[in-house]
Amino acid sequence: MDLLAPGWQAIVGHDWAVRLLAISIRHHRVGHAYLITGPDQIGKMTLARTFTQALNCTAADGQRPCGECRACLLIAADRHPDVRVVLPEISERGAQSIKIEQIRRLQQDLNLSAYEAHYKVAILKRFDTANPNAANAFLKTLEEPPSNVVLILTATDSDALLPTINSRCRTVSLRPIPTVLIEETLMTRHHVKPETANLLAHLADGRLGWAILAAREAGLLQERKAHLDTLHQALNGSLIARFTLAETMSRKTETLPAILRTWLSWWRDLALLAFDRQAGDRLSNIDEVELLHEMAVGLPRVRLLASLKQTEVALRQLGQNANARLLLENLLLTYPRSG
Ligand SMILES: [Zn+2]
């Protein structure tokens, strides 16, 4: 069965998504366009590349994708002549967007026939960052795709896409991977020590990609520590100190999503503990349990919940290109004062 092919086996979690894609190939029912959604670093691009390998792998039946043939290797490296990967361009201020020139270039390319593959494939990463001109231009391709072309879009927020784009794609929504599975994968496949694997799995919030990266690069854990220090600085700070902090932070927009995600995990932990003192195993920040307990007791529940909610809102607005400084000011004014 194709599901046992090495390439599919390498994907952790997302079993139903793998089954859906593998079966569509097996039954010759491959769609023109797919939209893979889910949080950052959950495995959207890995799934997109593996599906592309499965479409173009040259191994025997039941072995596709093999992960080892020329086609599979070139696809894994984003160097296959018939596979185009479009990444958002990053501006000086750290904002990501797919531009119309990128779409035009892709369209010219897709109109040429394939060099060597069964399918020409275009993977468009974070299509939710495409600006309106680019999205509109791409609609033409979605409406009348050249034959033997498969389009794969990824997005963290499908609500940010034009409804006409959503409706022309088969949607594959990826969900967070269970903590236990992340922990086990870190230990067995990446040789991470049990204690570190346990901490990273809890901090990962279902994002295996983040956990693997954090196991490799110590900097990510240090960053998370710095994000928490900034949060405590804000909570202990005066109104003026918070405004100053908002201003400083808004100058580095590229770091804001990671900071807000760390803060969100902190508020979620506090809210869990405020309502259930025994919530220990469900916490993310398991290395800070004592401080969490102390704060959960010391802060009013209403303020905790408001902070949690406002952090979620801020993170979402950030993805919609809101004014970072205003957004941070609102957020920091919602937060209670501690200590
Ligand atoms: Zn192969």
Mean residue pLDDT of the chain comes to 93
- pLDDT above 90 (res 164): yes
Distance 105 CA to ligand 1 centre (A): 28
Q: What tokens appear for 60 in the block?
A: 């025997």
Distance 235 CA to ligand 1 centre (A): 53
Q: What is the pLDDT of residues 98-120, one digit of tens each?
A: 999 999 999 999 987 767 778 99
- Helix H or strand E segment including 259: helix 256-275
What average pLDDT score do residues 2-31 get?
Answer: 92
Return the DSSP state at 125: T
Distance 50 CA to ligand 1 centre (A): 10
- Burial grade of 288 (CB within 10 A; 0-12, 13-18, 19 or more): middle
Distance 55 CA to ligand 1 centre (A): 9
What average pLDDT score do residues 161-173 get?
Answer: 94
Distance 334 CA to ligand 1 centre (A): 53
Lowest mean pLDDT among 70-74, 84-88, 94-98, 108-112: 94-98
- pLDDT above 90 (res 267): yes
Residue 96 — very low, low, confident or very high, per pLDDT cuts 50/70/90?
A: confident
- pLDDT above 70 (res 94): no
Q: What is the pLDDT of residues 311-327, one digit of tens each?
A: 999 998 887 778 999 99
Domain regions of the chain by residue span: 2-173, 218-334
Distance 219 CA to ligand 1 centre (A): 34
Q: What is the pLDDT of residues 121-140, one digit of tens each?
A: 999 999 999 999 999 999 99
Distance 59 CA to ligand 1 centre (A): 5
Distance 57 CA to ligand 1 centre (A): 4
Neighbouring CB atoms inside 10 A of 188's CB total 10
Question: Nearest CA to 117 among 78, 150, 71?
Answer: 71
Distance 283 CA to ligand 1 centre (A): 40
Residue 141 — very low, low, confident or very high, per pLDDT cuts 50/70/90?
A: very high
Distance 168 CA to ligand 1 centre (A): 29
Q: What is the pLDDT of residues 177-207, one digit of tens each?
A: 999 999 999 999 999 999 999 999 999 999 9
Distance 124 CA to ligand 1 centre (A): 22
Distance 74 CA to ligand 1 centre (A): 10
> Do 2-173 and 218-334 fold alike per CATH?
no
Matching CATH number, 2-173, of 1.20.1250.20, 1.10.357.10, 3.40.50.300, 3.40.350.10: 3.40.50.300
Distance 81 CA to ligand 1 centre (A): 15
Distance 12 CA to ligand 1 centre (A): 19
pTM: 0.86
Which distant-in-sequence residues (6+ apart) come within 8 Å of 258 by Cβ? 223, 227
| Alpha helical stretches, state H, 83-216 | 100-110, 132-143, 163-167, 179-190, 194-204, 208-216
Is domain 218-334 in CATH 3.30.300.30, yes or no?
Answer: no
Return the DSSP state at 78: T
Q: How high is the pLDDT of residue 250?
A: 93
Distance 6 CA to ligand 1 centre (A): 9
What average pLDDT score do residues 26-30 get?
Answer: 93
- pLDDT above 60 (res 1): no
Identify whether the C-beta of residue 307 lies closer than 8 Å to the C-beta of residue 335.
yes
Identify residues whose C-beta is under 5 A from ligand 1, the ion: 57, 59, 66, 69, 72
Distance 71 CA to ligand 1 centre (A): 6
